Chain A
Amino acid sequence: MIIRRSALVILMCLEIMLSAANLALVAFSRFRLEAGLPDYDGQMLVFFVITVAAAEVAVGLAIVVALFRSRRTIDVTTLTSMSH
């Protein structure tokens, strides 16, 4: 995320980070038995994370597309208009 300059790839990296958290959650849910079964509370969170991430990607991609339309680039090193 720090090295790559394409906004799209940065979004992908974001997904990787979320997935890592998901994996941790699922693992904990399996290892922490509740009433003899995996603790499904953790999986619920994963479920919601996936859902929200899907929405987030949709919005993010729409923003990227809009950005690309107006600037013809998605290189984040050149997209620094927020600094002024």
Chain B
Amino acid sequence: MKRSWFAYPYSLWMVIFTIAPMIFVVYFALTDTSGALSLSNMAAVGQETYLKILWRSLYLALICTVICLLLGYPAAYFLASKDFNKNQTLFVLILLPMWMNFLLRTYAMMSLMENQGIINTLLKAMGLEPVRMIGTEGAVLVGMVYNFLPFMVLPVHTSLKKMDQRVIEAAEDLGANPAQVFRRVTLPLSMPGVISGVTMVFMPAVTTFAISRLLGSGNFMMFGDLIDKQFLELNNWHFGSSLSLIMMALIIISISLLNKADPKGEGSAI
């Protein structure tokens, strides 16, 4: 018995539960209800209706990613800086929501943003005009940022923390002022973390479902909702598989692009 045999149960498991299901997705995507090979479902993805949904998902996910980056990078930077790096509690606090059920978080957001919700009640109490938030694209976006922000902070923080403090000092020593140090050294060296963070936010953001329903009141169907609908409401499994296949392709392409940008996988965290 060789030691490598210990990996066999796992290998078998992966073949049955990871690879085989993927093959089923491909199979369903490329056949029609009669089981015959057909590209019609794949072609149907190109219809304006679905492109519109795909586009909305990509665009919302992109904005969400940018906002998370803009909010999360400074947070990660400050947490990793000398001012706060001793403060482990602070770090855990920022990460904690990441481990909390996203439905609960979204649920909480919902009660804040409803027309008669807490924010509007406060606004009214202060004599201000209430704002319609729930059911808007903005609400969906806030919900997504709220859910995914910690996923940006974590890898960026990890890469910043891994960075040799002396490299920063070396740059200062060579005449870089703080802004230059950041632009020329810190930022490029934290790129792996940024890339990993972008992946960890963008991927789930593109495929998120339920958030748009709970916060967007179903007004902004996203790709994840569409897949859900095809499978569990419209009973159109072949088309649903086509949509999933497109999603898989998108992800695989982005991952390989990212692998190119970060060949050593330095930024990977969790």
Do A and B come from the same complex?
Answer: no
Binding site for B on A (CB under 8 A): none
Question: Measuring CB to CB, which residues of chain B are less than 8 angstroms from any residue of chain A?
Answer: none
